């Protein structure tokens, strides 16, 4: 049965690009939730909406229920204060740092439905008229980094008249591109995972696959702030997160491989379930590595464990560079992760 399942690279990348183009800063995911619901409708999968936000699709199967989760929310910003000069002071939503996004274009969403554009800038912004000592300071949203609006505003009152106010959400331009198999974009975390989950859904539907166990695909929100999958369907025994596997000097993760997570900065993953994933990779000649992610990493599995669910938890993901910045992975890493996911579901 597993040999019927093929990784449809074209479809996966089309979905990936569509997902990253849909702004979904944590806390403001209405648009992407509608997009995902529409895509599930097109494929013919039943689903339920979570009251706080999120979608759980039912893939069928009987017994020993498993949840596979990838999250829809992105890191971003929120308006903190209207500055006297007409710029915006901002605060991060999730783990976004100023030095990873200076000069990026943004969209500001007001509470009454207007959308404005702007740019994240240092203050002062022009290097030619900035003293050497100031240029040495790291970008910091609290001290020297703001948003300059693409509007004719000179003071806080001008900005207020546009309808912009404290608490408005701000999304960054993703700049999705593919070059020689390398995918570069903001929000590879975690829209790459959601894209390959849809690639699996499409293959299961087209090949009329009957899964050997009950499976749910959980498209979560709020993962970036730690409470994504804190609500699970009744009777779930296992949860598998798909997320990025950050690369680094002491990491084994690779952009062209799938990582099986042994531990993150919170907990070790369930040893038995992790070993099952590892053996599945070995049995199916999947290019995998084992890795540990610390000191600043976690997945949606952690939220379920912290919420007190009696479940085994594990995580896999594609190697990704520049996490929480302008990220990069490779289509081969997506394929290896897809192959491990589908082989595990069909074993």
Locate 2 and state its tokens: 């597993």
Three-class SS state of 210: coil
Three-class SS state of 174: coil
Question: By 3-state DSSP, what share of the chain in percent is helix, strand and coil, each rounded to 5?
Answer: 30, 30, 40
Separation CA 48–CA 54 (nearest Å)? 9
Q: Which of 223, 224, 255, 327 is catalytic?
A: 223
The residues, ordered by sequence, that sit 6+ positions from 72 with a Cβ below 8 Å of its Cβ are: 19, 24, 29, 32, 33, 36, 54, 190, 191, 194, 219, 220, 221
DSSP character at residue 153: -
Active site residue 223: yes
DSSP state letters, 91-127: EEESS--GGGTTT-EEEEE-TTS-EEEEEEEESS--G
DSSP character at residue 142: T
Residue matched to tokens 């999120």: 54
Q: Which residues are catalytic?
A: 223
């Amino acid at each position: 049965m597993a040999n019927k399942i093929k990784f449809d690279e074209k479809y996966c990348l089309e979905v990936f690009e569509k997902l990253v183009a849909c702004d979904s800063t944590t806390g403001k995911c209405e648009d992407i939730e509608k997009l995902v619901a529409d895509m599930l409708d097109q494929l013919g999968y039943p689903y339920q909406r979570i009251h706080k936000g999120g979608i759980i699709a039912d893939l069928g199967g009987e017994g020993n229920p498993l949840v596979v989760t990838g999250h829809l929310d992105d890191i971003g910003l929120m308006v903190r204060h209207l500055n006297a000069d007409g710029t915006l002071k901002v605060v991060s939503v999730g783990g976004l740092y100023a030095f990873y996004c200076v000069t990026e274009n943004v969209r500001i969403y007001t509470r009454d439905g207007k959308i404005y554009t702007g740019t994240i800038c240092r203050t002062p912004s022009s290097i030619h008229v900035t003293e050497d000592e100031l240029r040495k300071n790291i970008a910091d949203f609290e001290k020297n980094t703001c948003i300059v609006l693409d509007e004719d505003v000179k003071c806080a009152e001008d900005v207020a008249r546009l309808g912009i106010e404290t608490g408005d959400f701000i999304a960054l331009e993703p700049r999705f591109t593919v070059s020689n198999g390398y995918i570069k974009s903001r929000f590879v975390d975690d829209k790459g995972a959601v894209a390959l989950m849809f690639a699996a859904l499409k293959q299961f539907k087209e090949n009329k696959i009957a899964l050997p166990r009950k499976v749910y695909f959980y498209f979560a929100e709020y993962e970036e702030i730690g409470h994504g999958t804190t609500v699970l369907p009744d009777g779930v025994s296992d949860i598998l997160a798909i997320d990025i596997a950050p690369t680094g000097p002491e990491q084994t993760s690779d952009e062209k491989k799938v990582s099986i997570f042994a531990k993150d900065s919170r907990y070790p993953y369930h040893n038995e379930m992790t070993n099952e994933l590892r053996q599945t990779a070995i049995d199916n000649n999947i290019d995998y590595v084992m890795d540990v992610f610390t000191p600043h990493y976690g997945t949606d599995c952690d939220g379920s464990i912290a919420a007190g669910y009696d479940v085994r938890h594990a995580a896999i993901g594609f190697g990704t560079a520049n996490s929480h910045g302008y990220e990069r992975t490779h289509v081969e890493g997506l394929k290896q992760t897809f192959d491990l996911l589908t082989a595990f579901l069909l074993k």
